[in-house]
Structure 1
Amino acid sequence: MPSNPQTLMLMLLGDFVLDRDVCVFSGSVIDVLDRLGISSHATRSTLTRMVNRGLLRRQRDGRKMYFGLTPRAAEILRDGRARIWETGAVNDRWDGTWTLLCFSLPESWQRQRHDLRSQLAWSGFGPLQGGLWIAPGVVPAQDIVDGLGLSAHARVFHARAADLTDIGQMVSDAYDLAGLAARYQEFLDRWEGPAPYSDPLAARLSLIAEWLGAIRRDPRLPVEHLPVGWPAVRAQKLFRDLDAASLSPARALAAGLLDLTPSAVRD
């Protein structure tokens, strides 16, 4: 599914502003997002919202307004960069370890329960039964419960499944495999044929944004315990091939489009 203006803008900033100690002219951002069919009004509104949300800061240079990343935005983009280009979507090097988190909260703690479940899902956990959640590998789950002030109500373990355990069935019980597969299939349907954009910069930003959308809630389950023909394998290869092919032409185009100025504040 095509990404929203804020996501596309973050991809632009992650590719050309992050870790470079520069700010980008608002007119440049408008020009780039126009190539993706986003109006100047929508781009200006998105810039303002991102400033209000603490993701961007303004920096004036003469009559021009530039925008730079805040530390919070830089952290978000570095996390996204790691997920996209380092961690990957296919877990083919799993060592057999699981992180288990069991919790029991008072019935009236609905908000705390919601917050805990949301953070667990984001970190790759799936509900196995009742208050028992699992995630492949060693996950810093204690940091999650400590951060929510729930350490007295949760316990974290690292373990391996016994030989008689049907891990494939356990994975199927704890995770929405159909939903995960559908996101990768949607990515494949959109990108296996002709690129949605002929413009190389627009195509690259859209490609990265949509790939991040596909993988950001993926718990990276061990591929040997997933259904045969798991679409993430083909989707990841497609993304990496398209990413490599788009890099040089997109950067050459961006060099002529982006008006950058040194940042007065480091990211």
Structure 2
Amino acid sequence: MPNIVLRTAYPVRVTTTIDRTTAGTPLEVRPQTLLLTLLGSTALDRDLAIFSGTFVTVMGNLGVSEHATRSTLARMVGRGLLVRHRRGRRVYLGLTPRAAAVLREGEERMWRWGAVNRDTSGHWTLLGFSLPESRRDERHLLRSRLRWAGFGMLRSGLWIAPGAVDVTPLLSDPQLRDHVLAFRAEPVEPVDADRMVRDAYDLPTIAARYHDFLRRWDTRRPLPDATDDLTRHLLLLSDWLLLLRDDPRIPLHNLPPDWPAVAAQEVFHRTHGRLQPRARRVAERAVDSIDAPVDDGRP
């Protein structure tokens, strides 16, 4: 039976006893992801800062130690994601504009775009680049950005992504622009678009992740060993968002029949609808907060 595995910045793996009743691979969630999910569900657009002790309690219910939680919070402050607010001896942590932007992007992926792309236009974005061996680090960074933006490698140096992708954020370094070409395109016969998708993307791995999600959540009692419904809800949101961030959202008509993202999205919405009211009631009792407008912490 699998566990929920929480990856920290340390060489240890913090493992909870949650989800011992389902099959599939472990759900691996970084503590920062869970903390941001908690902030997104309790503080985003509410101008609130959360007591540090609340984070310790909630994360403790997820199997994360107090030391790991406080260390993660400190790193998030150092990275400009959180800002401290002191009230006497108590420290509260609020969102910065950068963190709020990250959370809104996640909400957009979760609620506006979702996992199922029903576009039938057949339009794709093609991007080609050529960087010399001496610029290996830049090449690696560009590849990481391309995968994050939904691109798959069709051939060496030639990448594709469904729809019209804004490539401007990918080329923030002006020195890259002379080495990159991007086009809007659509396949023409006799090119097999479905085969092109299979060549560019690891569809079995993407599908397997959705099947794991279904095994965890498509049940009458998801995560029955979780401490409470706030814990379940945070894990559900984190699990789904991690799936969406790694899914290039290939058009459904280019995917195999019975693509599991369709069923997974239905399960997510149904489970979210059931857990959210209960999680909100738990949060109202558990979360200690103060009014604190979103601030970057600078004078």
Q: Same fold (TM over 0.5)?
A: yes
Identify the match of residue 235 of structure 1 among 259, 264, 286. 264
Q: What secondary structure does 2:133 align onto?
A: coil
1:204 is the counterpart of 2:204: no
Letter in 2 for 1:66: Y
What is the alpha-carbon distance in structure 1 between the residues aligned to residue 241 and residue 61 of structure 2? 20
The aligned counterpart of 1:104 is 130
Note the 1:4-23 alignment, pairs <5 A: 4-23=30-49
The aligned counterpart of 1:195 is 222
TM-score normalised by L of structure 2: 0.85
Compared CA separation, residues 264 and 225, structure 1 to 2 (3 A): closer
What is the alpha-carbon distance in structure 2 between the residues aligned to residue 264 and residue 20 of structure 1? 8
The aligned counterpart of 1:259 is 288
Gaps of 5+ in 1: none
Structure 1 range deviating more: 70-79 or 28-37: 28-37
What is the alpha-carbon distance in structure 2 between the residues aligned to residue 264 and residue 86 of structure 1? 26
Q: What secondary structure does 2:134 align onto?
A: coil
Letter in 1 for 2:232: A
CA drift of 1:69 comes to: 1.0
Is the contact made by 2:207 and 2:260 (CA closer than 8 Å) also made in structure 1?
A: yes
1:167 is the counterpart of 2:215: no
What is the alpha-carbon distance in structure 2 between the residues aligned to residue 55 and residue 241 of structure 1? 31
CA drift of 1:149 comes to: 2.9
TM-score normalised by L of structure 1: 0.95
Is the contact made by 1:116 and 1:148 (CA closer than 8 Å) also made in structure 2?
A: no
Q: 1:165-201: CA deviations, max 9, x gaps?
A: 2111000000111111111111111112231126111
Letter in 1 for 2:180: A
What is the alpha-carbon distance in structure 2 between the residues aligned to residue 168 and residue 41 of structure 1? 49
What is the alpha-carbon distance in structure 2 between the residues aligned to residue 195 and residue 265 of structure 1? 34
1:81 is the counterpart of 2:107: yes
Compared CA separation, residues 2 and 153, structure 1 to 2 (3 A): closer
Q: 1:199-230: CA deviations, max 9, x gaps?
A: 11110000000111112111100111111121
Structure with greater helix share of residues? 1
Is the contact made by 1:28 and 1:258 (CA closer than 8 Å) also made in structure 2?
A: yes
CA drift of 1:265 comes to: 4.8
CA drift of 1:161 comes to: 1.1
1:42 is the counterpart of 2:68: yes
Gaps of 5+ in 2: 1-26
Identity %: 49
Letter in 1 for 2:170: I
The aligned counterpart of 1:213 is 242
Is the contact made by 1:201 and 1:250 (CA closer than 8 Å) also made in structure 2?
A: yes
Q: What secondary structure does 1:109 align onto?
A: helix
Is the contact made by 2:125 and 2:184 (CA closer than 8 Å) also made in structure 1?
A: yes
After TM superposition, the runs of 4+ consecutive aligned structure 1 residues lying more than 6 A away are none
What is the alpha-carbon distance in structure 2 between the residues aligned to residue 62 and residue 173 of structure 1? 59
Matched length: 267
